[in-house]
Structure 1
Amino acid sequence: MNRLADIALFVPLAAGLHVAAFTLAAGSLGGGTGAGGEGGEDLVTLAAAPPAMARIAQEWDTAPAPHSASPAPASPQADTAPTLPDSAPAPHTRAPLPAQPDRPEVTAPSLPAPPPAMAAPQLPRQMPALPAAPRPDRTAALVPPAPAPGRALPSRPPMPSPDTLPDAQAQTGAPLADSPRPVARPDPTPASTPQQARRAKGTAGAPVAGGQTGTVATPTLSPGQRQSLRAEWGARILARVTRQHHYPRGSRAEGRALVELVVAANGQLLSARLVRSAGDASLDRAALAAVRRAAPFPAAPRGLGRPRDSFTLPLNFERRR
C-alpha cells in the first residue's frame, strides 16, 4: 500500500518536472527571452527553475530506495520457562599422557632341551617265593612241662566211680520223712450233667408265665463282650422305633422325649414309660405310641444270657420347615 501511494504522488510530480525542463531547454535554444509562434502570435516566456524544483527533479531522476517492510506487531509473550545459561560446562578433558620411551625388545631365553625320559625298570612278573615259616607244634604245647626236680606235685583225690556214688535217697531220707504230706483236694464236680443239659435244651426259648423265658445255658462271656452284644441289640430296637416315629398332626411344639422300655429276650415288649417329657402332651403320647407300634422287637443276640433287658431311647420332635 505504501509503495502504491508513493507512485501516485511522484508520477505527476515527475511529469511536471520533465515538462518544465523541456520548456527551459526550448527557450534557451530560441536565442532570446521570448519567442514567437507561428506568425508571431504566441509568445512563450522561459525562466530558470527555482532551486527547489531542481532538487525535486534530481530526486526524481535518482532511483527510489527499496522500501523496508514494516515490522509485524509483536505477539503476546506467554510465560516461558527460565532460560538456562548458554554456556554449557566444558567437557572434562584428560591431560595427555607423556610419551613413553621405546621399550627394549625382550627375547625369550632359550631353555635347554629336557633330558630324555628314563625307562622304568622292569619288575619280574613272578614274585620270589618266601621261605615258609615253621609252624609251632601244637602237640608239644599240650604236653605239660616236666616238673622241676625236688618239687612234688599235690596229689588229687581220685574221682569216685558210679558204683561208689552216695545214695541221694539215703542222704535226704530224714528230711523227707519229717516233711508233712499235702492234704488231698477233693475232685471238682462237673459243671452240668447230661441230664441238666437235656433239660435246658428242651426248655430254651419256651414262653413261661409272666412273659419270661426259661434259663438257657450259655458260655461265659467277658463284661466287654456282654456290653457289645447289649449295645448291638439296643441299636436294632432303636432302628425299629425310629421307623414308627412320626410328628403328631395338629401340633406345633418341638421337643425331645426319653422313653424307657423293657424287652424280653424273645423281643416281646414288657413295659414302656416316659422318663422325661418333651414339654408337650401330644409329643409325649406320640413317643409312647411309636414304641408300641414298633413291638415286637428283634430277639436278643445269642450268648447274652439275660431273660430281659431295659433300654432308654431318645425321640426328637421337630417341625418341618
Structure 2
Amino acid sequence: MSPRGVLEAGVFLAAALGLHLAAFGVARPTAGASSAGAGGEDLVSLSAASPAILAALADYERPPEIAPPPEPPPAPEPEPAPAAEPVAEVAPPAPEAPRAPQIAAPTQPEAAPNLPPEAEPVPKIRPAPKPEKPKPAKPKPATAPKPAKPAPAPSAPSVAQTAAGAGGGANAGVNGAAEAATLSKAAEQDLRARWGATIRARIEARKRYPSAAGRAQGRVTVALSVSRSGALGGVAVARSSGHAALDQAALEAVRRAGRFPAAPAGLTRASYDFSLTIQFAR
C-alpha cells in the first residue's frame, strides 16, 4: 500500500473512534460530583473535529474516481484472402469398353469311324449292236458342168440427140452428143459448204458491234435463204443470244451484205437455206 493510503487509513480510523466515543458519552446519564482519586471514574472531554479531519473524512467517503476504460486497440485490417488457385478440370474417366461375351467354341463333331465304302452297283454291259453291212453305192452318171453366164456388157452413156432437118438447110440442127451429168450427194454438200463460206465471209465483213449492248457478249444463230443468183430471200433469228441488241445487230449485218456470190454450177435448185452463227465480243 502507498504511504498516502496508510495515512488516509489512520485518519479515518481515528475519526471513527472519536465519533463512537462521543456518542457513548452523550448517552450516559450525569452522575454526582466527580470523585477524586483512583476510585472515581475518568471523565472524557469531547470537542468538535478539526477541519483537517473532516476533509479527510469527506475524501474517504467520496467514491473513488473510476478511470474510463482504455479504448480497445483498432482491430487489424483483415488480410486479403489469397486468390483461389484454378482447379484443373479433371476429365471424367473413360467408360470401360464392354467386354465381349465369351463365346463357347462349338463342339467339334466326332469323327465318323472309317467304314469301308459301299460297293457301287456295277452297270450291266449291253452287248454292242452288230454293224450293218454297207450297201454298195450305185454310181451316178457324170453330168457336164453348165457353162457360165456371160457378164452383161456395160451400158453406153445416154446420148442426147438433136433433131436435124432434111436438105442441109440453115435451120438444120447439128448432130451432137451431150453426156447427162449427175452430181452425187457428197459432191453437192461440198459445193454448198464452199458457197456458205463465201456468204459467211461477206456477212462478217458487214458486222458491227452495237453500242447499246454495252460490253455484252453472245452468239446469234441466223437462218437465211439465198437464191442461185445470190439474192437474199429472207433472214430470221434461229437462236437468240439473250441480248436484243446483239440479235438486231446480226440481222442488220446480213441485210447490209446485200447481194451474195452466185451458187456454183453444180447446184441446180432455185434457192438454198443456210444456218450461220455470228459471235459478238468486246
Q: TM-score range by the shorter chain?
A: 0.3 to 0.5
TM-score, structure 2 as length reference? 0.37
Q: Which structure has the highest helix share of the two?
A: 1
TM-score, structure 1 as length reference? 0.33
